[in-house]
Structure 1
């Protein structure tokens, strides 16, 4: 689907070319990319700065070590196996519980030890990594799901993406897993994205497969009532990742743990643009404002600025269920192709 350039300019849509050249190219030093492209390095870096992350059970670095995976997960009720250098949710395997010699995914599908070993071996070979390079398998403890979100998600833990520019949280959304996404909070695989008001953490609108949604496709629960608890704490955590990484244009992915509160899952030096669809608004105005007016403040002052300047007021009623998001899902902006 395409849209006229004037439509995209009016809505302040940031396209891939502008994102890559104006923001990523200008504000992200390529020497810092390994800090966020490698999930293991990100985890260790976050822990050094006192940022909470899911507990690390262990890592597998060689094919010889694959046979030790069983020892690593003995007496562990649930766990996640992920590639250190993966992207887009690829290669993430969630085991919700263990029943004897069977490992049960959130969907109810049972895996064997041989299945786990094969998956770890594929990770090491680079099947899911950026550029297909050899990788490391990271095994983490399962997140204690905050049951306040149980009606909003299906067979998976929802996460919260916040785009941080020069240390200021400029836009946010929650990603809700669905049957289509196989329990993963990944929009490209069919998760629902819900735009969030930076001021309050309240839902603005929902989208799935580039079309609006007012209710979760599997649970049937309406999305308008979604409110993120501990919202300011979460924004402070996201904003502090600027100092942690030194990256000026950053995507922070976080979850809410029932016992430990907001936790950092991973960071992204090239955050996607689908967050604009979920918010029904382009990033351009917010990024321009930060460039023009916001400089050198402490973390709490940056969050204050964002909550004050980017609050959504007088929100229009959502469009009818399933209406295509022309001009936001895809289109052209000054001759460039826009892609989420």
Structure 2
């Protein structure tokens, strides 16, 4: 049984709770009219393109059932790709194909899928099986992200991603999410992925948790997570900061990946980012949020906001 921590101790540590997050930050700083820009992955990709924010290359958009028949023609020349529901959440409905073997499509786990299976999956996406509220959806097919060797060796099967919480355009806290056997190759902390807190100033690992318990080694790879340092960190922070101009949302989670060829790429945005990032960092969000709220003269460019965060919140 985990030890109970008093609200007083949590407040003293600067921990942001869910109710305060919802009322004081999400409701106050996020215009609900902008939510469709981040709740719909296709809209997010198109918006990112307008603001010069790189995303994985879009290969196909499937909007109608009859368009599924064109999928095999498009995919024949692709070595790897990802199929995603545009309005899905929590990673539901995402199928990642690593390679082809004859007429079989192979996942990272080694599982082999047929064309018929993928076509049925596309049909289920259109029917709304994975969308919020079960509403009809759109399927997108995009290039497979191939993470850098430095990061992929720390993760079990899945692609490591980086969550950056951005407040009023300032990156205030970040973590790397590493998939595990327990999380079934998905970078979802609630399913057992490892969360590694990252120093905003350098991109270097600070602390790591799995199932809310501090760890030193990745449970499957056995590698010390303290060795992790993210390349192109400055670029990633500026990309995250630029998402404020793109969406107008004051409190968002920006999910990025580091591709071995393309470099930093935006995966998706979240208007209701979770709070586990505090556990991964071993620090509370509140002091950093209040620091930004107290600024007399906000910085007007993503580059200057990223630089301020690196200097102010760096370890």
What's the TM-score bracket when you normalise by the shorter of the two chains?
over 0.9
Sort the Cα spacing of 1:189 and 1:295 in 2 relative to 1 into closer, same or farther, 3 A.
Answer: farther
Q: Report the Cα offset of residue 186 of structure 1.
A: 1.5
- Alignment-derived partner of residue 53 in structure 1: 55
CA-based RMSD of the aligned residues comes to 1.1
Matches within 5 A, 1:89-104: 89-104=91-106
How far, CA to CA, are the matches of 1:37 and 1:251 in structure 2?
12
Q: Report the Cα offset of residue 294 of structure 1.
A: 5.8
Residue 305 of structure 2 corresponds to residue 302 of structure 1: yes
- Alignment-derived partner of residue 127 in structure 1: 129
How far, CA to CA, are the matches of 1:239 and 1:292 in structure 2?
18
Runs of 4+ deviating beyond 6 Å: none
- With normalisation by structure 1, the TM-score equals 0.89
Matches within 5 A, 1:1-340: 1=2, 2-293=4-295, 295-297=297-299, 298-312=301-315
How far, CA to CA, are the matches of 1:295 and 1:198 in structure 2?
21
Q: Report the Cα offset of residue 3 of structure 1.
A: 2.2
Q: Would you say the 8 A contact 2:197–2:281 is kept in 1?
A: yes
Query: Greater shift after overlay, 8-17 or 32-41?
Result: 8-17
- With normalisation by structure 2, the TM-score equals 0.96
How far, CA to CA, are the matches of 1:111 and 1:295 in structure 2?
55
For 1:13-33, what per-residue CA distance to the aligned partner results, in whole angstroms no more than 9, with x for missing partners? 111111111001011000000
**Which structure 1 segments of 5+ residues have no match?**
313-340
How far, CA to CA, are the matches of 2:210 and 2:136 in structure 1?
33
For 1:142-178, what per-residue CA distance to the aligned partner results, in whole angstroms no more than 9, with x for missing partners? 1132111132111121010000000000000000111
Q: Would you say the 8 A contact 2:152–2:160 is kept in 1?
A: no
Sort the Cα spacing of 1:295 and 1:120 in 2 relative to 1 into closer, same or farther, 3 A.
Answer: farther
